[in-house]
Amino acid sequence: MRWSGDGGAGGELTDPHVASRAVHPQTALICRTLGCVGYAFAFDETGVLHFEWATGDIAGEEIVPLRALLAERAGIEAVPLLSHLRKLSAGNASEVDLNWRSDIATLRVRDSAQPEFDRFGRVIRIVGTVRDVSFDAWSVTAGSEGVWQRHMVERLDQGLACWDLDERLVFANRKFRELHRGVSSILRPGISARAFFSIVARSGEVAIEGLAALWARSALHDFRHEHVREQQLADGRWLEATPVRFAEGSILRIDDVTRQKASEQALRQAKEVAETANLKKSRFLRAANHDLRQPLATLKILIYSSFGVENEDKRHELLHSMDVTVGIMDEILGSLLQIGQLDAGRIATRVVHFQIGQVLDRLKIEFAPQAEAKGLRFKIVPSRSTVQTDRALLERILSNFIANAIRFTETGEILIGARRRGSTLEIQVWDSGCGIPDDQLALIFEEFHQVADQRTQQRGLGLGLNIAYRLAELLDHQIDVRSQLGSGSMFSVSVPVGSVWQSDLGEPEISERIGGEFLGAEVLVIEDNELLRNTVCLLLDRWGVKVTEASDGDKALALFDDPDSPRPDLALVDYRLPNGRAGTEVLADLRALLGYDLPGIVATADNDPALVGRIRSEGLPVLIKPINPARLRSAMHHLLYEQNRETER
């Protein structure tokens, strides 16, 4: 193509494949930073215009309108470009706005250039830039009012994109581009909605299950039919797209609903927790109602049957049955109380180092009589290993294992022992009972679960193993179970091995020699509940104990005003006494009055761990009401016969 400029150089336009000059690195960096395209053309000595170089891109494309002109590309605006080139060739700076159609959109670009001269004043080079002014055009077209509108739209917290009737993008605000930052480079006026959704689907920006093409088709359908759509992005954010159609086109509003979705999820989880808790509560009450009413009904019958019975053997049999029935109720109430504490999160752990033999000895004291009464052999393999855990909670776990073993074993033996497994000690409880079917092993630790073929034969709420499991979970201990139907089961808990040098010696050990003779022992009982006081006194009297009783602290102290009155060997004191006095205070006053360190046991119906801990910190054993005779007996035996103390009388 030949042409001549007014008063300037004339010649041919050529487009060599290789630029005659390299791009300066700093120029390339500036163009990339500004998001524009820089270019240069040069006239040779014969007046032919050569393309030298170009750098940068707009929406991924190297846009140089003058280069497209000399290549005679179809669809370009040739007339304003030729005018632009004539001005430059004549030695004048020039600027022109053009529509540039790419594969996906039509952009509005601005080509700004200026000439360079040799020492004779001839134009030898044209250097310029091309930048995208698509969004500038919107406010210019709309006038001064549009400028204000654009400023408002740009600062909205919602993403907005406007589409014309041909579904081509007219404008997208800053928030829309931020929310779709993965494809922001293609958000230019003229891009079709179909192309936009297709590019988004293939970009990896959204979390898509299935084919990207299907997602794009579905998104376009929702856009056209004004369906609100929620979509999770690959980075975890949630967006809500709301299309609105009107006479001139459509607006697509995008809201970041990540926080809202998180709140909804939290509410759903809270609802599920509440519903689960309510379901458990209903099951809890139904099971408690059933299992407590049964022994109560039995107890009523036994009491009624005992009226008028003169035969000593028959009366003894009825009283024994009453004792068993009350024991069942005590066990059920204890389980309900423990599960309530777990649900309320009231159980706090106190991890110490201690010798496992201390716990094993206590378990033998508690359960050997029960096993022997059922005709079972009961054996504990001695262990001197030291463990690191909460002593009381570990004892509860093992107590539930052993109670379960005794309950479901009719003949044979119960064996308890410990095995070292690396850095842990596995404490095992073996029985020769009925065993557990394989399909039930995964269910036995659930609340209220009872093996189907055992439910009609055995009593209880089905809470013991669930309590053991939850306590082990609280302590981060592993529980294991192995069972063979018809042969027996093995339950175990693995506890971290501790250091003997850090052993907690604050709580005295209880020897396995229990049930020593209490004949002649003097015991003071202080209890304001007359029925309970009489019951405990009757029990102690059966053990050969000489009992002195009082209903409150003042009366107890008055018993020893006479220096010749018998002095007690031990005091069993209720914690909450009349006149707001604590049993520990009364015990301290008694010690001061008597002049020696009177051994004491504190009984309380409040099983709050903090309260029990405070009492034990004073060196006093604690019994939770209703008082278990076996535990009372073991505590008395220790204090009267095994604890080294100097008594000054």
Q: Of 106, 132, 158, which marks where a domain is finished? A: 132
Model-level pTM? 0.39
DSSP 8-class letter at 508: P
Give residue 340's pLDDT: 65
How far apart are the C-alpha atoms of 255 and 158, rounded to whole Å?
Answer: 5
State the CATH number of the domain containing residue 287: 1.10.287
Q: What's the chain's length in residues?
A: 649
Continuous H helices in 345-390: 356-373
Q: Answer yes or no: do 323 and 441 share one domain.
A: no
- Residue among 519, 533, 613 nearest 572 (CA): 533
Give residue 337's pLDDT: 67
β 238-246/249-256 pair status: antiparallel
Residue 377, beta-bridge partner list: 413
State the CATH number of the domain containing residue 413: 3.30.565.10
Give residue 454's pLDDT: 46
Give residue 13's pLDDT: 47
β 169-172/159-164 pair status: antiparallel
Strand, helix or coil at 254? strand
DSSP 8-class letter at 450: -
605 is in which domain, residue-wise?
522-642
- Residue 100 inside a domain? The answer is yes
- Per-residue pLDDT of 54-106, as tens digits, reads 988 887 788 999 998 888 887 788 889 999 999 999 999 999 998 888 766 67
Residue 623, beta-bridge partner list: 603
Q: Of 256, 283, 303, which marks where a domain is finished? A: 256
List per-block mean pLDDT (blocks of 10 residues) for the chain, which spans 649 residues. Answer: 37 43 67 80 87 86 88 83 91 90 77 90 90 64 51 72 87 83 79 90 86 91 91 87 84 87 83 75 60 66 76 79 73 64 68 87 80 89 89 84 87 93 93 83 62 45 71 89 88 89 48 49 91 84 86 91 88 91 92 92 87 89 84 83 51
Q: Answer yes or no: do 354 and 494 share one domain.
A: yes
Give residue 573's pLDDT: 95
- Residue 495 inside a domain? The answer is yes
Q: Answer yes or no: do 353 and 484 share one domain.
A: yes
β 546-550/570-574 pair status: unpaired
Residue 239, beta-bridge partner list: 231, 256
- Residue 209 inside a domain? The answer is yes
State the CATH number of the domain containing residue 226: 3.30.450
Q: Of 502, 532, 566, which marks where a domain is finished? A: 502
Q: Answer yes or no: do 127 and 143 share one domain.
A: no
Give residue 34's pLDDT: 67
Q: How many domains in the chain?
A: 5
Q: Answer yes or no: do 469 and 358 share one domain.
A: yes
Q: Answer yes or no: do 12 and 126 share one domain.
A: yes
Q: Answer yes or no: do 496 and 419 share one domain.
A: yes
Are 215 and 208 in contact, with CB atoms under 8 Å apart?
yes
- Residue 509 inside a domain? The answer is no
With 0-12 / 13-18 / 19 or more C-beta atoms within 10 angstroms meaning exposed / middle / buried, residue 450 is buried
Q: Answer yes or no: do 210 and 228 share one domain.
A: yes
Give residue 7's pLDDT: 34
Other C-beta atoms closer than 10 Å to the C-beta of 1 total 11
Q: Answer yes or no: do 157 and 227 share one domain.
A: yes
Q: Answer yes or no: do 309 and 322 share one domain.
A: yes
* Sequential DSSP letters for 476-489: T-EEEEEEETTTEE
Strand, helix or coil at 421? strand
- Rounded alpha-carbon distances, angstroms, from residue 462 to 138, 346, 446: 74, 21, 8
How far apart are the C-alpha atoms of 472 and 207, rounded to whole Å?
Answer: 40
Q: Answer yes or no: do 6 and 82 share one domain.
A: yes
Q: Answer yes or no: do 568 and 606 share one domain.
A: yes
